[in-house]
C-alpha cells in the first residue's frame, strides 16, 4: 500500500504531509488504564485551554488555513482535533469506542493533528490525498451523508473514505483482529510528525498490543521510513 499527495493539493497547499502508522491489533474495549490516561489528559487540557485559544494551536491553525486554501470553510467544517478539543474544554468529554479509537483521539487532542484510523481490509489499491471535487459526499460515521467537496480527502481505488473532519463508514474500525492504518493529517510541513508518530507507537504498544508496526512520513512523492518492527 503506497501513499501519495496529489499534484493539485501540493500546488494549493505545499505544506501538506501525512504521517502513517501501519500494524495489526486486536480491536476491543479500552483498558481502564487507557481510559484513565485519556480522562486525565482531557482534564489537563480543559484547565489549560480556552475555546478562543484552540484555533490558534499551530497544527490546528495550519489545518484551518489549508481548508481556506482549498475552498472549504473551517468554521462550518471543523477539523476533528479542533472539534474534540472544543468538546473537552466545554466539559463534554469524548465518547468511548474502542482501544484504537481512544488511542487515536488521545494523540489527536494532545498534538493538534487530526487523525484517521482505517481498516485496511476495506481499502483497495494505493491511497492518495486529493482535494475532493465539487459535489462529493460519502456516508459518515454516525452522521449520514456528508458533503466533503473541497476537503483534503483520502482516496483509494474505490473512492473517498476519509478526511481530517469526518471519516466514512466504509473503513471504520470495528472489533476483532484487524490490519489498521492511522493517518495523521499535517498541514504544517510535517515537522512535528516524527515526534508524535513515535509517541503514538509507544501508546499503541502499551495499550493495544500491536504487531508488525511500521511508521512513515509522506511529503509529495517522498517517503521517510521511521521504523518497521
pLDDT band at 109 (very low <50, low <70, confident <90, very high): very high
Map out the domains of the chain as residue ranges.
3-228
Q: Which three cell numbers stand for residue 170?
A: 466504509
pLDDT at 1 over 80: no
> Element (H or E) spanning 206, and its range?
helix 193-207
Mean pLDDT of 55-81: 95
In whole numbers, what is the pLDDT of the chain averaged over residues? 95
Mean pLDDT of 23-50: 96
Mean pLDDT of 62-68: 97
pLDDT band at 143 (very low <50, low <70, confident <90, very high): confident
pLDDT at 95 over 80: yes
pLDDT at 142: 80
Mean pLDDT of 40-54: 94
165 DSSP 8-state letter: S
pLDDT at 220: 81
Mean pLDDT of 90-98: 91
pLDDT at 60 over 80: yes
Residues ≥6 apart with Cβ < 8 Å to 129: 3, 4, 5, 6, 9, 16, 18, 152, 153, 154, 155
Smallest CA-to-CA distance from 3 within 20, 25, 28 is with: 20
**Long-range CB pairs of 83-89, under 8 A, 24+ apart, other chains included:** 83/165, 84/108, 84/109, 85/45, 85/49, 85/54, 85/57, 85/60, 85/109, 85/112, 86/51, 86/54, 88/42, 88/45, 88/46, 88/49, 89/45, 89/46, 89/49, 89/50, 89/51, 89/54
Angstrom distance (rounded) from CA 83 to CA 77 = 9
pLDDT at 178 over 90: yes
pLDDT at 52 over 90: yes
N residues, the chain: 229
- Strand 176-186's sheet: what is its strand order? 114-119, 176-186, 17-27, 211-219, 222-228
pLDDT at 213: 96
pLDDT at 103: 98
- CATH architecture label of 3-228: 3-Layer(bba) Sandwich (3.50)
pLDDT band at 70 (very low <50, low <70, confident <90, very high): very high
3-state SS assignment for residue 107: helix
Percent of the chain with pLDDT over 90: 90
pLDDT at 222: 87
> Element (H or E) spanning 131, and its range?
strand 127-131
Amino acid at each position: 500500500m503506497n501513499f501519495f499527495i496529489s499534484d493539485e493539493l501540493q500546488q494549493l497547499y505545499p505544506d501538506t504531509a501525512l504521517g502513517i502508522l501501519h500494524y495489526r491489533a486486536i480491536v476491543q474495549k479500552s483498558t481502564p488504564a487507557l481510559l484513565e490516561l485519556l480522562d486525565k489528559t482531557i482534564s489537563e487540557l480543559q484547565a489549560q485551554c480556552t475555546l478562543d485559544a484552540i484555533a490558534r494551536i499551530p497544527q490546528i491553525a495550519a489545518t484551518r488555513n489549508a481548508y481556506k486554501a482549498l475552498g472549504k470553510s473551517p468554521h462550518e467544517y471543523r477539523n476533528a482535533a479542533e472539534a474534540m478539543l472544543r468538546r473537552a474544554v466545554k466539559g463534554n468529554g469524548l465518547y468511548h469506542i474502542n482501544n484504537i479509537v481512544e488511542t487515536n483521539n488521545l494523540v489527536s487532542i494532545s498534538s493538534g493533528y487530526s487523525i484517521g484510523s482505517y481498516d485496511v481490509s476495506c481499502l483497495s489499491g494505493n491511497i492518495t490525498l486529493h482535494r475532493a471535487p465539487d459535489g462529493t459526499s460519502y456516508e459518515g460515521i454516525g452522521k449520514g451523508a456528508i458533503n466533503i467537496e473541497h476537503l483534503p480527502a483520502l482516496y483509494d481505488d474505490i473512492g473517498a473514505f476519509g478526511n481530517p473532519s469526518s471519516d466514512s463508514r466504509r473503513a471504520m474500525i470495528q472489533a476483532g483482529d484487524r490490519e489498521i492504518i492511522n493517518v495523521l493529517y499535517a498541514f504544517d510541513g510535517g515537522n512535528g510528525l516524527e515526534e508524535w508518530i513515535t509517541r503514538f507507537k509507544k501508546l499503541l504498544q502499551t495499550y493495544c498490543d500491536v504487531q508488525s508496526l511500521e511508521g512513515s512520513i509522506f511529503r509529495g512523492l517522498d517517503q521517510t521510513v521511521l521504523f518497521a518492527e
